[in-house]
């Protein structure tokens, strides 16, 4: 069974979170590169999900019953397409935050190693 990019990202984030205190700067750097690569692939998929959601919204707008943009938005936000898109956006935000946190952790550990080696 193939796992999706989203599942891979979730597993990677979970693994990093569980092991953050024992990961070396080199291991964190490797994880950072992997997550950045996954993010590039994930972004392409997110664009596709956004397009599907927009098409669903357009279907509501151009349907037989004339409705406002606000109503079309409300209706489209109750669809499975929107749910998938919203979940992907939340994962994107979490992924970006984890990437930022890893960068900070690498800098802090690098500073600690520098101080220790100068002592």
What whole-number distance in Å separates Cα of residue 108 and Cα of residue 23? 13
Give me the mean pLDDT over the 5-31 stretch: 94
What whole-number distance in Å separates Cα of residue 34 and Cα of residue 38? 6
Domain positions in the chain: 38-111
Per-residue pLDDT tens over the stretch 31-84: 999 999 999 999 999 999 999 999 999 999 998 888 999 999 999 999 999 999
Contact between 29 and 65 under an 8 Å Cβ cutoff? The reply is: no
Q: Model-level pTM?
A: 0.83
DSSP string, 39-78: HHHHHHHHHHHHHHHHHHHHHHHTSSS---HHHHHHHHTT
């Amino acid at each position: 069974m193939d796992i999706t990019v989203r599942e891979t990202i979730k597993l990677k984030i979970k693994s990093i979170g569980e092991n953050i205190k024992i990961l070396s700067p080199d291991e964190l750097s490797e994880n950072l590169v992997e997550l950045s690569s996954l993010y590039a692939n994930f972004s392409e998929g997110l664009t596709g999900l956004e397009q599907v959601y927009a098409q669903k919204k357009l279907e509501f707008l151009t349907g037989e019953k004339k409705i406002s943009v606000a109503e079309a938005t409300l209706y489209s936000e109750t669809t499975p397409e929107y749910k998938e898109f919203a979940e992907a956006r939340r994962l994107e935000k979490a992924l970006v935050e984890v990437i930022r946190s890893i960068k900070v952790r690498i800098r802090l550990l690098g500073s600690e190693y520098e101080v220790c080696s100068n002592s």
